[in-house]
A = this chain, B = another copy of it.
Amino acid sequence: MTITATDLRPVLIAGSWRDATSQSSFQATDPNCNATLEAAFPVSDWQDCDAALDAAVAAAAELRRLPAEKIAEFMELYADKIEAAKDALVESAFAETGLARSPRLADVELPRTSNQLRAAAAACRSGNWALPTIDTKAGIRSCYRALGPVCVFGPNNFPFAFNSVSGGDFAAAIAAGNPVIGKANSSHPETTRLLAELAHAAVMESGLPPATVQLIYRTSHADGERLVADPRVGATGYTGSRGAGLALKAAADKAGKPIYLELSSVNPVVITPGALAERGEKMVDEFVGSALMGAGQFCTNPGIVMLVAGAQTDAFIDAVQARYASTAAGTLLSPAVARSLSKSVQTLTGLGAELLTGGGEPESDRCAVANTLMRVDGGAFLNDPEGFQTEAFGNASLMVVADDVPQLCRAIDCLEGNLTGCVYSSEGDSEEAEVEQITFVLEPKVGRLLNDKMPTGVAVSAAMNHGGPYPATGHPGFTAVGIPASVLRFGKLTSFDNVRPSRLPCLLKDAAPTEQTVRLIDGQWRGGAV
């Protein structure tokens, strides 16, 4: 089939759905049956990017003049539209990702997405995300302000909740008052287009600048790097593979442009002998449930389990192996994910990890690889810790069995930065000394430390950190989940020193802009007027 320009889906630039300037194209695959989906999408050239950037600059200027209330209204309207279009969105996402229609897409991810937009709307309306601070004695007031156009590159594994035009980075960037240029994930472009249609409709109905939300589907690597480094860009949010992310980071860093990255994480889970002795069966249930959920395609999937050698550990691994072998493999997001998973498993076994089950080639009639369990001893891990930390994104796990707790700690000390790290231990306090040693080396490696709990749930909480040291993310001080903290990434800190009252931003005037607004006024966090 020859694809012509008229067959290509349009890009959304400067408020119009129009043909991309390039005729280069791509199509996504239905992972449920390994069939190429009919819709074809353009690979945008620099002319599209350039037009989007110009329109975004103009939109950013307009947005700065609008009250926060208008932006909040847009997000709420958009959330309503997403819920109203649930069936079509779920059907499209199912066809493009293979994720279960229910509960995953319809009942978990879609409500999370609309609720995230509403939480962002509330943060935007109150201004609380911006940490408004007033020092009446010094005559100085400060808060975070919109930073400028934000580029968002969404990942493959959350077609709604991290989508570049509806997800966490999108909501955070918009709540801070910035327009967004969304770059669709190539594995679910139609779902992204449907969302952008809803977003665009909500933009127009709520009277925001038409270019508040723009969408392109794909660019060359070179144009992507040029985009994040462009002087017109305020910042970039990226969730995806480490390789592509680091290339974007290098380009953005060189230009002095903030870029927030979520790259990769093997999310180590330490299980002590005491935990296995007390609740070995429960541990198997908990681990297998977390590790195979969504075919293991979560940022916080527990990819590496760290154990101490012994009979309990062998029994645990045997039980997990049996469960992996007897459980049908989930459908993976795309042929690329299936290929990458097989390759990572080959890399790990090539380094000497023992293949306990799985490890074959992708299935031919859908995107899937058999549930895969591998094992390596602590000494071998320590001989090539970088190699054994190769991320196997999907339904594969590596058991690292150390000789003893000191070796376990040395192995942990070799870990790269991760989003999460867990410690399961005896319910009593008989293992506190060992747990203290383990935690001391584990905590600096992770953004979120858990006890007796698997990492795959990412609660929406003010205390949540969905972040972590490099290379899990690009900076250890920021979280990608949790409104309002995640919004700060897309703000610019600004002091107003002796600025005349009438010229202050609403958020910093004597009167509080809303009843929900809380400000640090002369050292006290409180609501109300100065």
Instruction: Please give the residue numbers on chain A whose beta carbons come within 8 Å of chain B beta carbons, in ascending order.
Output: 61, 64, 133-135, 138, 140-142, 144-145, 147-148, 249-250, 253-254, 256-258, 417, 420, 429, 432, 435-436, 439-440, 443-444, 446-453, 455, 459, 461-465, 467, 469-471, 474-479, 488-489, 491-500, 502-503, 518, 520, 523, 525
What is the CB-to-nearest-CB distance from A11 to chain B, in angstroms, rounded to a whole number?
27
Q: What 3 pairs between A and B have smallest CB-CB spacing?
A: A256-B470, A525-B525, A253-B253
Q: How far is the CA of A265 from the CA of B461 in the complex (A)?
A: 39
Q: How far is the CA of A351 from the CA of B518 in the complex (A)?
A: 50
Other than A138-B459, A451-B499, A459-B497, give 6 A-B pairs with Cβ distance below 8 A. Answer: A133-B463, A135-B464, A448-B494, A449-B496, A451-B500, A462-B520
Q: How far is the CA of A141 from the CA of B258 in the complex (A)?
A: 27
Known contacts: A492-B469, A494-B449. The answer to whether A140 contacts B459 by CB under 8 A is yes
Chain B contacts of A449 at CB under 8 A? 494-497, 499
Q: Are B451 and A476 in contact (CB under 8 A)?
A: no
Q: Are B435 and A138 in contact (CB under 8 A)?
A: no
Q: Are A461 and B499 in contact (CB under 8 A)?
A: no
Q: Are A435 and B257 in contact (CB under 8 A)?
A: no
Residue in B417, B455, B479, B525 whose CB lies within 8 Å of A493: B479
Q: How far is the CA of A469 from the CA of B256 in the complex (A)?
A: 9
Chain B contacts of A461 at CB under 8 A? 135, 138, 140
Known contacts: A449-B494, A493-B478, A497-B448. The answer to whether A463 contacts B144 by CB under 8 A is no
Residue in B444, B450, B465, B492 whose CB lies within 8 Å of A498: B450
Known contacts: A253-B249, A449-B495. The answer to whether A140 contacts B476 by CB under 8 A is no
Q: How far is the CA of A36 from the CA of B281 in the complex (A)?
A: 76
What is the CB-to-nearest-CB distance from A342 to chain B, in angstroms, rounded to a whole number?
28
Q: How far is the CA of A228 from the CA of B137 in the complex (A)?
A: 39
Q: Are B497 and A476 in contact (CB under 8 A)?
A: no
Chain B contacts of A444 at CB under 8 A? 145, 148, 492
Q: How far is the CA of A42 from the CA of B332 in the complex (A)?
A: 59
Chain B contacts of A518 at CB under 8 A? 525
Q: How far is the CA of A256 from the CA of B416 in the complex (A)?
A: 11
Q: Are A258 and B464 in contact (CB under 8 A)?
A: no
What is the CB-to-nearest-CB distance from A506 to chain B, in angstroms, rounded to a whole number?
14
Q: How far is the CA of A135 from the CA of B448 in the complex (A)?
A: 14
Q: Are B497 and A450 in contact (CB under 8 A)?
A: yes
Q: Are A142 and B477 in contact (CB under 8 A)?
A: no
Q: How far is the CA of A439 from the CA of B469 in the complex (A)?
A: 38
Q: Are B448 and A495 in contact (CB under 8 A)?
A: yes
Q: How far is the CA of A492 from the CA of B439 in the complex (A)?
A: 16
Q: Are A256 and B494 in contact (CB under 8 A)?
A: no
Q: Are B64 and A463 in contact (CB under 8 A)?
A: no
Q: Are A464 and B495 in contact (CB under 8 A)?
A: yes
Chain B contacts of A500 at CB under 8 A? 451-452
Q: Are A464 and B142 in contact (CB under 8 A)?
A: yes
Q: What are 16 A-B residue pairs whose CB atoms fall within 8 Å in the complex?
A: A64-B440, A134-B463, A138-B459, A142-B465, A249-B253, A256-B417, A446-B494, A447-B492, A447-B493, A449-B494, A450-B497, A451-B503, A452-B500, A462-B520, A477-B493, A479-B493
Q: Are B453 and A498 in contact (CB under 8 A)?
A: yes
Chain B contacts of A254 at CB under 8 A? 250, 253
Chain B contacts of A256 at CB under 8 A? 417, 470-471, 474
Identify the closest chain B residue to A473 (Cβ). Answer: B256
Identify the closest chain B residue to A453 (Cβ). Answer: B498
Known contacts: A463-B141, A463-B495, A495-B463. The answer to whether A476 contacts B443 by CB under 8 A is no
Q: How far is the CA of A250 from the CA of B142 in the complex (A)?
A: 30
Chain B contacts of A488 at CB under 8 A? 477
Q: Are A493 and B476 in contact (CB under 8 A)?
A: yes
